[in-house]
């Protein structure tokens, strides 16, 4: 079946409104002959004369009168679809966003983020899910709205990214731990008992690589799945947790934090999303709020 020319809807709307080919042509910025040809096409498409001669003018047929209200409504809906998206009324927006983040992000940044969102858009809800791997399929499939992480070569090329903050690893122990006394050397650090962080099958992380280059090896007494668990365990034991500094700011409150006695590379934590949400105004607003919250929190 041949697809009808939807531009004819505009011509039909104007013709039914004017009831005159010449006046309709002026409104459409067409010649009278072109408008007459369009009317002929409309008659063929609808199977109805639509406008018939009555004296010097044209009068609508019953079918044309029936179509008049429908065509006007259809055009209004079509124009609404094709207009640029309006700025959303955040006070009336009802929506839930899913954020996929490493353990510790919600605990550290969540309170300020939720407070800001509730103030600007009380109907918006956040759902935090733990990031167990670096696979960007969750963003591509639309099951996740936003994600935080370090940009890698394994990430899908279509994923958009915006830097949130620079971070580095620090050591953290309970108050009264022997590492709180005197200078912490690389050997003293390595001889303590440590909490390892699961690294998705990787044998060595940046900390182990750094101390290995010094001819040392730390003793990992236990391994956990995330930073907040490591900090909580260090708080209640004599184990040492080595965690990102800014990522765990709230979690380390009341504990002793120290700079690692050897160099480890800093890294950038970014906000990630799929291009399908790039022009979504509410999604753009949320991205702005997350960026501002993390920036203020880490200054």
Is the pLDDT confidence value at 85 over 80? Answer: no
Q: Please tell me the total count of domains within the chain.
A: 3
CATH at residue 23: 1.10.10.10
Q: Return the pLDDT at 299.
A: 47
Is 90 a member of any domain? Answer: no
Q: Return the pLDDT at 51.
A: 85
Q: Give yes or no: residues 119 and 74 share one domain.
A: no
Q: Give yes or no: residues 74 and 162 share one domain.
A: no
- Domain limits for position 33: 7-82
Is the pLDDT confidence value at 159 over 90? Answer: no
Is 147 a member of any domain? Answer: yes
Is 242 a member of any domain? Answer: yes
Token reading at 87: 């700025």
CATH at residue 227: 3.40.190.10
Is the pLDDT confidence value at 27 over 60? Answer: yes
Q: Return the pLDDT at 139.
A: 85
The string of pLDDT tens digits covering residues 186-236 is: 999 999 999 998 876 555 688 999 999 999 999 999 999 888 999 999 999
CA 233 to CA 243: how far, in whole Å?
12
Is the pLDDT confidence value at 257 over 80? Answer: yes
Q: Give yes or no: residues 185 and 223 share one domain.
A: yes
Q: Give yes or no: residues 102 and 216 share one domain.
A: no
Is the pLDDT confidence value at 126 over 50? Answer: yes
Q: Give yes or no: residues 161 and 179 share one domain.
A: no
């Amino acid at each position: 079946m041949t697809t009808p020319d939807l531009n004819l809807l505009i011509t039909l709307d104007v013709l039914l409104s004017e009831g005159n080919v010449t006046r309709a042509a002026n409104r459409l910025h067409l010649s009278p002959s072109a408008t007459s040809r369009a009317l002929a096409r409309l008659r063929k498409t609808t199977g109805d004369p639509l406008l018939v001669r009555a004296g010097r003018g044209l009068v609508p047929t019953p079918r044309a009168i029936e179509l008049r209200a429908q065509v006007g409504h259809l055009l209004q809906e079509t124009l609404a679809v094709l207009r640029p998206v309006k700025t959303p009324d955040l006070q009336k927006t009802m929506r839930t966003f899913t954020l996929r983040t490493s353990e510790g992000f919600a605990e550290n940044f969540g309170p300020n983020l939720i407070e800001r969102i509730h103030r600007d858009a009380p109907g918006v809800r956040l759902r935090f899910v733990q990031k167990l791997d670096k696979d960007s399929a969750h963003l591509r499939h639309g099951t996740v709205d936003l994600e935080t992480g370090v940009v890698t070569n394994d990430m899908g090329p279509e994923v958009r990214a915006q830097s949130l903050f620079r971070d580095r690893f620090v050591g953290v122990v309970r108050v009264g731990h022997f590492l709180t006394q005197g200078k912490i050397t690389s050997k003293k650090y390595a001889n303590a008992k440590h909490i390892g962080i699961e690294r998705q099958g990787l044998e060595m992380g940046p900390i182990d690589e750094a101390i290995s280059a010094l001819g040392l090896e730390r003793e990992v007494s236990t391994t956990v799945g995330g930073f907040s668990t490591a900090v909580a365990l260090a708080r209640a034991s004599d184990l040492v947790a080595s965690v990102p500094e800014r990522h765990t700011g709230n979690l380390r409150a009341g504990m002793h934090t120290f700079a690692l006695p050897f160099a480890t590379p800093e890294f950038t934590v970014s906000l990630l999303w799929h291009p399908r949400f790039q022009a979504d105004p509410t999604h753009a607003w949320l991205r702005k709020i997350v960026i501002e919250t993390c920036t203020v929190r880490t200054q």
